[in-house]
Amino acid sequence: MNAPPDTAASPPDYRVQSRAVAERFRKLKERPVVLDVERLSRSFESEGGPVTALSDISFQVHRREFICVIGPSGCGKSTLIRIIAGLDHPSTGRMLLDGREISGPSADRGMVFQGYTLFPWLTVKRNVMFGLEMRGMDKVQAEREALQWIDLVGLSRFCDAYPIQLSGGMKQRTAIARALANHPRILLMDEPFGALDAQTRAHMQAHLMEIWRNVDITVLFITHDLDEAVLLADRIVVLKAHPGEVQEIIEVPVARPRTPAQLMTPEFLATKARLEELIHPRVETPVTPAEPLPIIRLTQVGDEVE
């Protein structure tokens, strides 16, 4: 293999994996399949006839895999996760969880929403206890378990606070604890950090990695942030819009454990470049050079800003 002389100018192929990474993927694929999405389609009725939001989506998620779904806006990634959660239904196709066909929402598929969706009338502790109580667990035991999960997300000091008193990051940590407390087979996350500021978002990503490493949980994570996808995922399912189809499933060649320091490594950049190419393809027809806007100058001479 003849390596290009300047790696910065042309990064390595995103499909090239180091031995450790390749080994990890080999092992990962030996694990049992938790979620199997088979030829899933979803179309909506609209005034202008049926609109296909998702078309023929198939992929598998292995146990304790971290999989990201990414795509341009309108590609139906939210519809996809809602169907998997059972909050929407597919037009055709089916989903298997541990080999059994699923339909309708259930506690075995926990979900974290972008809008937090904490119950505002319950304290952090009672929020986390909610799912446990739904299962019929008695209060004392539910409380004990809830406190462990709250501890895990680092909110012990706030277990008696109400959601309105929490910051966005704290709310989302509570939501994660609430979903995890149910021991779901798969954790569905619908752009969970989309509403957070950049710094909190970075913290939450690190935090989520830490949780994922230590808890037996499989994660399906939806995002539109390329960096976030590459940083978190084992594999990235790239969707394309109109209709939403799987364009490519990328195995992320970045070694684990991941840190933000890897954002500049060649593998990272190569993967990101590939995502960029898939999601924002270069338009064939050259864009006509933008005509200058018909604005007359309304400032004084000598007051130019550039």
Partner 1 sequence: MPRHLWFTVLRPLSSRRRALLGVGSFLIPLAVWCAVSYLPFLWKPLVRVAEPGDVSWFRAGMLVDRHEFAKEAKRVAAEGGVRPEGTRANPIYLPAPHEVARALYTAFTTRPVLRGDAWLHESLWLSIKTIFLGFMFSSAVGVPLGILCGAYAAAARLTEPVVDFIRYMPAPAFGALMVAVFGIHLEPKIAIIVIGTFFQQVLVVSNTVRRVDPCLLEAAQTLGARRRHLLLRVIVPNSLPELYNDQRILLGWAWTYLIVAEVVGVSSGITFFINQQAKYRNFDNVYAAIIIIGIIGLTTDQVLGFFGQRIFGWRSLKPSRFRTLMTRLFADRYTVLFPDEPEEAKA
User: Of 70 and 111, which has the nearer Cβ to partner 1?
Assistant: 111
User: Of 107 and 263, which has the nearer Cβ to partner 1?
Assistant: 107
- Single out the residue of 132, 121, 117 nearest to residue 87, CA to CA: 117
Which H or E run contains 268? helix 266-279
Rounded distance, CA 185 to CA 34, Å?
7
Rounded distance, CA 203 to CA 217, Å?
20
Q: Contact between 130 and partner 1 (CB under 8 A)?
A: yes
Contact letters for partner 1, residues 108-127 (x by CB under 8 A): -xxx-x-x-x-xxxx-----
Rounded distance, CA 159 to CA 304, Å?
55
Q: Contact between 137 and partner 1 (CB under 8 A)?
A: no
Least gap, CB of 188 to partner 1 (angstroms): 8
Least gap, CB of 199 to partner 1 (angstroms): 22
Q: Contact between 39 and partner 1 (CB under 8 A)?
A: no
Half-sphere exposure of 257 toward its Cβ, with a 13 Å CA cutoff? 11
Q: What is the DSSP string of 111-165?
A: EE-TT----TTS-HHHHHHHHHHHTT--HHHHHHHHHHHHHHTT-GGGTT--GGG
User: Of 59 and 130, which has the nearer Cβ to partner 1?
Assistant: 130
Number of residues near partner 1 (by CB under 8 A): 29
Which H or E run contains 303? none
Contacts of 156 (CB under 8 A, 6+ apart): 147, 150
In the region spanning residues 270 to 289, those forming contacts with partner 1, defined by CB under 8 A, are none
Cβ atoms of 263 and 231 closer than 8 Å: yes
Q: What is the DSSP string of 32-88?
A: PEEEEEEEEEEEEEETTEEEEEEEEEEEEEETT-EEEEE--TTS-HHHHHHHHHTSS
User: Of 175 and 233, which has the nearer Cβ to partner 1?
Assistant: 175
Q: Contact between 107 and partner 1 (CB under 8 A)?
A: yes
Q: Contact between 100 and partner 1 (CB under 8 A)?
A: no
The number of residues making up the chain comes to 306
User: Of 35 and 85, which has the nearer Cβ to partner 1?
Assistant: 85
Q: Contact between 134 and partner 1 (CB under 8 A)?
A: yes
Least gap, CB of 120 to partner 1 (angstroms): 6
Q: Contact between 106 and partner 1 (CB under 8 A)?
A: yes
Q: Contact between 86 and partner 1 (CB under 8 A)?
A: yes
Q: 3-state DSSP call for residue 3? A: coil
User: Of 113 and 193, which has the nearer Cβ to partner 1?
Assistant: 113
Other Cβ atoms less than 10 A from the Cβ of 2: the count is 4
Rounded distance, CA 119 to CA 192, Å?
16
Contact letters for partner 1, residues 153-172 (x by CB under 8 A): ---------xxxx-------
Q: Contact between 78 and partner 1 (CB under 8 A)?
A: no
**Selected binder of partner 1 within 67, 146, 179, 233 (CB under 8 A):** 179
Q: Contact between 85 and partner 1 (CB under 8 A)?
A: yes
Q: Contact between 192 and partner 1 (CB under 8 A)?
A: no
Q: Contact between 90 and partner 1 (CB under 8 A)?
A: no
Q: Which positions touch partner 1 (CB under 8 A)?
A: 85-87, 105-107, 109-111, 113, 115, 117, 119-122, 130-131, 134-135, 162-165, 175, 178-179, 182, 188
